[in-house]
Amino acid sequence: MTERLPSPQLLLRVHALRDRALAADSLNALAFSMANDAYALLQYHQALVFAQQGDQPELLCVSGLAKPAEDSPYLVWLQRASRWLAQQLEGDEPQWLARSAVTPPDDISDGWAEWWPAGLWCVPVQGRAGQRLGLVLFLLDAPPAEPLTEVLGGLWKTWGYCWQSLAGVRRRRPWQQGRRKLLAALALVLLVLLIPVRQTVLAPAEIVSHEAQIISSPIDGVIRQMHVRPNQAVEQGALLFTLDETTLRNRAEVLSKGVAVADAELLAARQRAFDNPQGQGELTLLSGRAQQSRAELAAVQAQLARTQVHAPEGGIAVYSDPNDWLGKPVSTGERILLVADPAQPAMRIQLAVADAIALEPGAEVTLFLTAYPLQPLHGRVLETSYQAHPSDEGVTSYRLLASIDGDAATARLGLHGTAKLYGKRVLLGYYLLRRPLAAVRAWTGW
């Protein structure tokens, strides 16, 4: 007697179900295919697809529904029933669970009688390592025929393969092994944070002269002419700028006339003194007035001489623009320009208070000029300001002066760049968390 083979139509349908499972691009798409596409073979009342999440199965799909309402009475009851069913199923093979063969709790029994038929065909979805990935429930009036269950065995394996691939489940990933890896990673991170590194900070910097003479206005007046251009080389004694002399010259002319008048009065008094002995007292008074007039004239002439300002030493004239000074009133001691020695360049660094680190004189500095980024300049901190003051950009900063060691061919006065300052060695964790910790303390006051 020959064994009866399955019909070709049945095999084609099973093959089509396997193709649809393999074509699914997500776990939800696979669950939808599992719940709806097998109806032509099993003729079930309803199919439910659950994902195994520990002891609590998670409902993925209900046949005939695109998205089940989670607050419906049926799904609320189904959450309790799924937990009870998971405890009843043992093994990896599909099982027929008849209502008459089990004794569920009262709340489960009442819902079964209202919503489910006489039996359930429970199909576990297994991974390649034998772990349970999910569960498919087919609500039937009677168990399926044995030949059909044999043909569907390959379909269950295909579902498990596709489920594991789409869910990204690894073959062997015990919880203890994952915990050990996590602890090892944390230990490695802690060891890395304990590595000592050099503390550094970046700050804007400018090339200035270590020896620069401040040229200020010697008297109150108005600047008439600037005789040097910005960044022009000047020699010792060169004329830098002149102040307007109109007021002083007029005053000098008036005083010179006053001196002549005082001399004439003194001469007349001396002539009268020969005939009148009482004129001796007048002679002394007029002599004092003449000396006072000469002293006032000499003072004005001295101020006239100071209207022309000369360079005390050779160097480069450093200031912004001549048009900013022409016709501008200045007071005594007001800074006009600098005469800097280009042979002694230095770095002037503006270190913001928020970026400040512990720096001592002698700390290393590397300057990367904007004009020469591939030719850094090296030096050491010479002095640091005690107090922070707003910079030209309005940022409260400390002023640092650093030397330039070695070849300083590219260190032209006025060039700007970024300076990298090197502090003491600290732990990498402190280096990375210094700014966040400072911000937290500023906000919390701790």
Spatial separation of the C-alpha atoms in residues 238 and 313, rounded to whole Å: 9
Token digits of residue 4: 């009866």
Spatial separation of the C-alpha atoms in residues 7 and 147, rounded to whole Å: 10
CATH tag for 8-167 (out of 3.30.450.80, 3.40.1160.10, 3.30.70.2190, 3.30.750.24): 3.30.450.80
User: Contact at 8 Å (CB) between 205 and 419?
Assistant: yes
Identify each DSSP E strand in 244-320 by its residue range.
308-310, 315-318
Predicted pLDDT of residue 380: 92
pLDDT for 299 beyond 50? yes
**DSSP annotation of 169:** -
**DSSP annotation of 182:** H
- Among residues 36, 131, 46, 48, the alpha carbon closest in space to that of 82 is found at 48
Q: What class has domain 201-208+344-444?
A: mainly beta
Predicted pLDDT of residue 369: 92
> How far is CA 251 from its chain centroid?
64
Contact partners, residue 152, CB within 8 Å, separation at least 6: 14, 41, 144
Residue 63's alpha-carbon distances to 32, 37, 49, 76, in angstroms, are 7, 9, 9, 17
What is the chain's mean pLDDT, rounded?
Answer: 82
CATH code reported for the domain at 211-242+307-335: 2.40.50.100
Which residues on adjacent β-strands are paired with residue 347?
207, 402
pLDDT classification of 82: cutoffs 50, 70, 90: confident
pLDDT classification of 333: cutoffs 50, 70, 90: confident
- Among residues 417, 431, 434, the alpha carbon closest in space to that of 202 is found at 417
Q: DSSP letters of 204-227?
A: EEEEEESSEEEEE-SSSEEEEEE-
- 345: phi then psi, degrees, rounded to nearest 5: -75, 155
Residue 294's alpha-carbon distances to 280, 288, 304, in angstroms, are 21, 10, 15
Handedness of CA 369, 372, 376, 382 (dihedral sign): negative
| Domains of the chain by residue range | 8-167, 201-208+344-444, 211-242+307-335, 245-306
Residue 431's alpha-carbon distances to 145, 193, 197, 307, 313, in angstroms, are 71, 9, 8, 56, 46
User: Contact at 8 Å (CB) between 259 and 291?
Assistant: no
The predicted model scores a pTM of 0.48
**DSSP annotation of 7:** P
Interior angle at CA 445, CA 439 and CA 446, nearest 5: 95
Interior angle at CA 234, CA 322 and CA 326, nearest 5: 15
Give the model confidence (pLDDT) of 218-262 as tens digits. Answer: 888 888 888 888 888 888 888 889 988 888 888 878 888 887 887
Spatial separation of the C-alpha atoms in residues 293 and 300, rounded to whole Å: 11
Token digits of residue 201: 């900070």
Give the model confidence (pLDDT) of 203-218 as tens digits. Answer: 999 988 887 788 888 8
Give the Cβ contact number of residue 235 at 10 Å. 10
pLDDT for 425 beyond 50? yes
- 422: phi then psi, degrees, rounded to nearest 5: -110, 125
Give the model confidence (pLDDT) of 338-380 as tens digits. Answer: 888 878 889 999 988 888 888 888 889 999 999 888 889 999 9
pLDDT for 30 beyond 90? no
Q: Is 386 helix (H, G, I), strand (E, B) or coil?
A: coil
211-242+307-335 has the same fold as 8-167: no
Spatial separation of the C-alpha atoms in residues 143 and 275, rounded to whole Å: 162
